[in-house]
Amino acid sequence: MLASRPKTLTGAIAPVLVGGALAAWSFSYLLFGLCLLFAVVMQIDANFVNDYFDYRKGTDRDDRLGPERACAQGWVTPRAMRIAIGLTTLAACAVGLLILVAGGHVELLIVGILCVLGCFLYTTHLSYMGLGDLLVIIFFGVVPVGFTYYVLTDGQWSPAVTFAGLGMGFATDNLLMVNNYRDIAQDRISGKRTFAVRFGQRATLMAYLWLGIVAAALAEAVLLSIQPLSAGRVWVGLLLPIAYFCFHLRVYGRMKRLQGRQLNQVLGATAAGIFIYGVLLAVAVIVVGCL
HEC assignment per residue over 100-164 = HHHHCCCCHHHHHHHHHHHHHHHHHCHHHHCCHHHHHHHHHHHHHHHHHHHHHCCCCCCHHHHHH
Radius of gyration over alpha carbons of the chain, in Å?
A: 19
Sign of the Cα torsion 63, 69, 75, 81 reads negative
Q: Report the half-sphere exposure of 125 (CA within 13 A, side-chain side).
A: 5
- For the cut 60, the answer to whether the pLDDT of residue 265 exceeds it is yes
pLDDT digits (tens, 9 = 90+) for 59-109: 665 556 667 788 888 899 999 999 999 999 999 999 999 999 988 888 899
Mean pLDDT of the chain: 89
pLDDT of res. 62: 57
The vertex-238 CA angle with 12 and 210, nearest 5°, equals 55
Distances (CA, A) of 86 to 89, 93, 113, 154: 5, 11, 15, 31
pLDDT of res. 289: 73
- Among 116, 128, 108, CA closest to 85: 116
Q: For residues 217 and 220, give the distance between their C-alpha atoms in angstroms, rounded to a whole number.
A: 5
* Structural domains of the chain in order of their starting residue, each with its CATH number: 6-290 (1.10.600)
pLDDT of res. 130: 83
**Looking at residues 259-284, what average pLDDT do you find?**
91
Which one is predicted more confidently, 190 or 230? 190
pLDDT of res. 77: 93
pLDDT digits (tens, 9 = 90+) for 147-162: 999 999 999 999 999 9
- For the cut 90, the answer to whether the pLDDT of residue 215 exceeds it is yes
Quick one: what percent of the chain has pLDDT higher than 90? 58
**Looking at residues 51-55, what average pLDDT do you find?**
88
- For the cut 90, the answer to whether the pLDDT of residue 167 exceeds it is yes
